[in-house]
Amino acid sequence: MDGLELLKKNWKSQEASLPKVSYDEIYQMIWKRSSSIVKWIFIISICEFLFGVLFNLVAADEEYWNSLEQLDLKEITMWVYGINYLITFYFMFRFYMNYRQINSTSSAKQLMKDIIKTRRTVKSYILYVLIGTAVTALAYAYLIIYHHIEDAQVADSSAYVFDALDWLKFTGIIVVALGAFIGILWLFYRLIYGILLKRLKRNYTQLENLDCD
């Protein structure tokens, strides 16, 4: 039993003439805990963004860009980076606004609404990352294959003719590999953000019980 549950137990055992102060104490404890959780969500999103930028700077050397240019993917990749950064900035801004909103909350009902809004924002962000990664990977796989088919200069083109079974095997390998990667990515986000979301959900439940008492 944590400190909040002990406080609630003591509050229920007090005289009827002293409920207001104890109610406020319980609410303040939940409010501070929720504010701290949302602040950490915002901080983690910043760290994640900075790590992604640093990784791109290290990995995207001259050889990397030259290989993309040979595949006619350099311009597309720059657009993908730009759009991804803009959307990530949008979610970081949403996390920051959620943190500010919770800091200015003055009632249990409003705090419950803010917790729901924060949880939805985080889930939307995770969904964007997973779907965006899958769509981008499939698009790049298609463009690379298409580029090689268009630009291949071979004496015997029959070696590059694939039947339906070959394409099915190739597609299956891509889907399985991509599915495994998305699964690992989902587990990573579930570990990082899932713990914080569970704590927010617990705070919401405690606020709901407090409001009913």
28 confidence band (pLDDT: 50, 70, 90)? confident
Q: What is the pLDDT of residue 91?
A: 95
pLDDT at 143 over 90: no
Using the predicted structure, report yes or no on whether residue 18 has a pLDDT greater than 50.
no
Q: What is the mean pLDDT of residues 174-182?
A: 88
What percent of the chain shows pLDDT beyond 90?
38
The one-letter amino acid at 121: T
Q: Which residue has better confidence, 6 or 122?
A: 122
CA dist., res. 169 & res. 150, Å (int) = 21
Query: Quick one: average pLDDT of 196-209?
Result: 89
- Say if residue 83's pLDDT is above 60: yes
Given pLDDT bands bounded at 50, 70 and 90, which one contains residue 71?
confident
Q: How far apart are CA 109 and CA 147, in angstroms?
A: 56
Nearest to 24 by CA among 39, 13, 8, 38: 8
Residue 13: DSSP 8-state: T
> Looking at the predicted structure, is the pLDDT value of residue 121 above 90?
yes
Q: Answer whether residue 212 shows pLDDT above 70.
A: no
As a whole number, mean pLDDT of residues 56-62 equals: 79
The full length of the chain comes to 213
The mean per-residue pLDDT over the stretch 11-39 comes to 73
Reduced to 3 states, what is the DSSP secondary structure of residue 141? helix
